[in-house]
Structure 1
């Protein structure tokens, strides 16, 4: 018992060492400075609102009306942006272009179709079938994505534990709001494939099918001003090629092809789905080319490793972005994560089986926990090893050992709290905001559960 008490004390000391910000935390805090509300004039007729909502909301001014590109997450967000846009022009809204069906881009649409509470004739442009990802969950009867989505978004965390969401400020949705399936929107103008030209209110624009983060993604191209609206196929961060809330495979190969099409437009300015626009030919060319090059590198290396028989656990150690790309801020893992991309590519091509016959029929978690405890000399010895791992700053190993302990004795408060401590340390060291939020939320849930136990 003396040894056990000593290790607990050492663990508490170890946790206290993380009181100062890690490099990851410092970078996320620095990131917040460019996620504040701002209106940017991109070109003669294009304005982009960033930081008012998780997703950007843009305006294109024509001769007799304006087009809106994406609407933000909630009507209140859209109203706040429209108030700013109305300082620039009083022309009526004639259309809303939705780059894809995610709720953070579609939920605020009422602010633009019902300005000042009055419904107007506003065309809604989108790709069909619209909101494919949300429909995928609904058709399958899947609800777990909502729980995991709330963890990923940090919606259950107190404000002091959220820095930002990597590519957006840390907003909180109403509890009854489902922000991941989008609104029940029926587009008035839609297409499924190819390129389509329009001329509305004196605005010449093209909408192009561009699957990537979602299969219903499009990009909007203004040929006269050479401005491109990328949707979520580009923002200033490593892309979310896999969302930890759960999603079907986001085809990385198609994503690269969509980026290639956008680059071949030779844009002078780029409006991403999140984060600040790219202004000027030089920045636009460099950043979009880096983005495509980096994603293509990860795909190529993943396929190479797969063809060498690597498992996903081996593959994530093998695929490393070249230093000249990894050090660029627009490719930092603020939102998506390269390891998750690699695992998604493996699963997207080969499914769940990693190729190792041992994993065809794995032991149950309970049985593995029992064997692990027996291997080290019993449950108490396993617990000591887990505490020692935490004390040695081996938080991942502590979390994995804690899982065994919890399977052995799920009503033991000490095990729940031990895992929570490990997750807190893992969160502190992770720059990817979605993963950080997930760690912290589950740690919070474990502490609540421990408190409820007698």
Structure 2
């Protein structure tokens, strides 16, 4: 009897110990799980804005879904086949093509699809402006018929990068802005175009204009009255097309569903921003029921089109006039950038999200256009060289080692822009270049993850890839 009791007692003690150990294990596991959840929640909280921006940018990709859209029985637009749109107006005895994509391969696919819709011959091609993504595939539509008129504005293509003495650096920056060499897994979109576009015979179908005009041109093509209007904006050779019979307005790149690219970070001459805004206002006065932009999907409905064009023009002119006012009040360039903002009512508009252009970039462009590089601050008349400034800033921070620590701390605290600026000082003075570069790459990728603006995102990622390749 006593033996049984002892055994029972022994078993009970083991059970109690196991129970205590099990409870302890559950408690510790709970703490660890709670900690992990707290850490995950904190990370999600920190990256919430990044996530929202990336989701918005990814959702914007639907604007480039490949499709030939029928706006009415006589007007069609091909979206998503290349970096821009191309359109077809069906006339009595032929068709009119407006813009011709970038790659000949992509243009051939659209031309074939258009011919299935309407086998009538092409009677004219109209270029809304000279950018290669609107002119590179023309021969796919003309099919060797050199008698087909190709219409554009005077001064066509005169200011494009292929004619620039600094073409080499412009091409490099072009690659970065559009993410042309990024790995496919990093590509989302280009703000107003798909993230990846055809490389099949890029520009090989270009045909020079055979007819140009200065201010406006009214012409009958295939029995259809067509009105062309000069419209300085994204380029100084831009025009828009009005087809009154079908109440269709073709805006070229002076309108698309994103805040306009008042300045291109790939490098471009000044874009006449005041004219741009005024031309969009002018377009808003036409009673159009179909609006076909140079990029993104078309709009339908008179009221919808009027609203979109009006808020677009208002935003452009607001940035322009705010910048001019700030300059006249004596603000420096950076002060002006910090000061100019869109009204909340405009910021909320779906066609003014900064997927492609940036208010800040537009402000910088206006400012430097009117007064050049000098912002009025005498400190900037003869600034220190980059190397001297870096040396003095590092000395001020207590030396290179302490500057590196501050740089690393900034990165750890997710102050990526500040870390990137500190990294420049360290790189210029050649301090721990390999280590600095590794963190610099992380900063660039982190900044990219925060971007709603596709060109900025692509530029950050492209530079990170370039640095990573050199490592």
TM-score normalised by L of structure 1: 0.90
The 1:98/1:225 distance shift into structure 2, 3 A limit, reads: same
Q: Are 2:311 and 1:285 equivalent residues in the alignment?
A: no
Report if aligned partners of 2:356, 2:454 keep a CA contact under 8 Å in 1.
yes
Q: Secondary structure at the match of 1:22?
A: helix
Deviation of 1:214 (Å)? 0.2
- Residues 424-435 of structure 1 mapped to structure 2, 5 A cutoff: 424-435=445-456
Deviation of 1:386 (Å)? 0.7
Based on CA coordinates, which of the two structures has the bigger radius of gyration?
Answer: 2
Deviation of 1:19 (Å)? 11
CA distance in 1: counterparts of 2:345 and 2:48, whole angstroms: 32
CA distance in 2: counterparts of 1:269 and 1:232, whole angstroms: 16
The 1:33/1:175 distance shift into structure 2, 3 A limit, reads: closer
Partner of 1:232: 253
Q: Secondary structure at the match of 2:116?
A: coil
CA distance in 2: counterparts of 1:286 and 1:102, whole angstroms: 27
Runs of 4+ in 1 over 6 A off after TM superposition: none
Deviation of 1:173 (Å)? 5.6
Q: Output the aligned Cα RMSD.
A: 2.3
Q: Are 2:452 and 1:408 equivalent residues in the alignment?
A: no
CA distance in 1: counterparts of 2:444 and 2:200, whole angstroms: 25
Partner of 2:175: 150
CA distance in 1: counterparts of 2:69 and 2:432, whole angstroms: 54
Q: 2:212 aligns with which of 190, 195, 203?
A: 190
CA distance in 2: counterparts of 1:176 and 1:313, whole angstroms: 43
CA distance in 1: counterparts of 2:205 and 2:89, whole angstroms: 23
Report if aligned partners of 1:238, 1:334 keep a CA contact under 8 Å in 2.
yes
CA distance in 1: counterparts of 2:169 and 2:114, whole angstroms: 38
Indicate the larger mover: 137-146 or 426-435.
137-146
Partner of 1:75: 104
Unaligned runs of 5+ in 1: 1-12
Q: Are 2:66 and 1:40 equivalent residues in the alignment?
A: no
Report if aligned partners of 2:260, 2:356 keep a CA contact under 8 Å in 1.
yes
CA distance in 2: counterparts of 1:183 and 1:407, whole angstroms: 45
| Higher RCO, 1 vs 2 (CA within 8 Å, ≥6 residues apart) | 1
Partner of 2:151: 125
Partner of 1:94: 123
Indicate the larger mover: 221-230 or 62-71.
221-230
C-alpha deviations, 1:38-74, integer Å up to 9, x for none?
Answer: 1112233111111111111100000100011001111
Q: Secondary structure at the match of 1:143?
A: helix
Report if aligned partners of 1:221, 1:227 keep a CA contact under 8 Å in 2.
yes
Partner of 2:39: none
The 1:96/1:443 distance shift into structure 2, 3 A limit, reads: same
C-alpha deviations, 1:361-385, integer Å up to 9, x for none?
Answer: 1111111111111111111111110
Partner of 2:92: 63
Partner of 2:14: none
Q: Secondary structure at the match of 2:427?
A: helix
CA distance in 1: counterparts of 2:164 and 2:458, whole angstroms: 28
The 1:137/1:315 distance shift into structure 2, 3 A limit, reads: farther
CA distance in 2: counterparts of 1:391 and 1:128, whole angstroms: 54
Report if aligned partners of 1:299, 1:345 keep a CA contact under 8 Å in 2.
yes
Report if aligned partners of 2:426, 2:432 keep a CA contact under 8 Å in 1.
no
Report if aligned partners of 1:43, 1:227 keep a CA contact under 8 Å in 2.
no
Partner of 2:351: 330
Deviation of 1:215 (Å)? 0.2
Deviation of 1:100 (Å)? 0.4
Q: Are 2:297 and 1:272 equivalent residues in the alignment?
A: no
- Residues 53-452 of structure 1 mapped to structure 2, 5 A cutoff: 53-114=82-143, 118-119=144-145, 121-134=147-160, 138-172=163-197, 174=199, 185-192=207-214, 194-409=215-430, 412-449=433-470, 451=471
C-alpha deviations, 1:407-448, integer Å up to 9, x for none?
Answer: 011772111112111111111111110111000000111111
Q: Secondary structure at the match of 1:264?
A: coil
Deviation of 1:224 (Å)? 1.7
Deviation of 1:14 (Å)? 8.3
Report if aligned partners of 1:14, 1:393 keep a CA contact under 8 Å in 2.
no
TM-score normalised by L of structure 2: 0.87
CA distance in 1: counterparts of 2:75 and 2:156, whole angstroms: 25
C-alpha deviations, 1:204-245, integer Å up to 9, x for none?
Answer: 101111110000000011012221100000000000110001
Deviation of 1:268 (Å)? 2.1
Q: Are 2:74 and 1:49 equivalent residues in the alignment?
A: no
The count of aligned residue pairs is 431
Indicate the larger mover: 38-47 or 196-205.
38-47
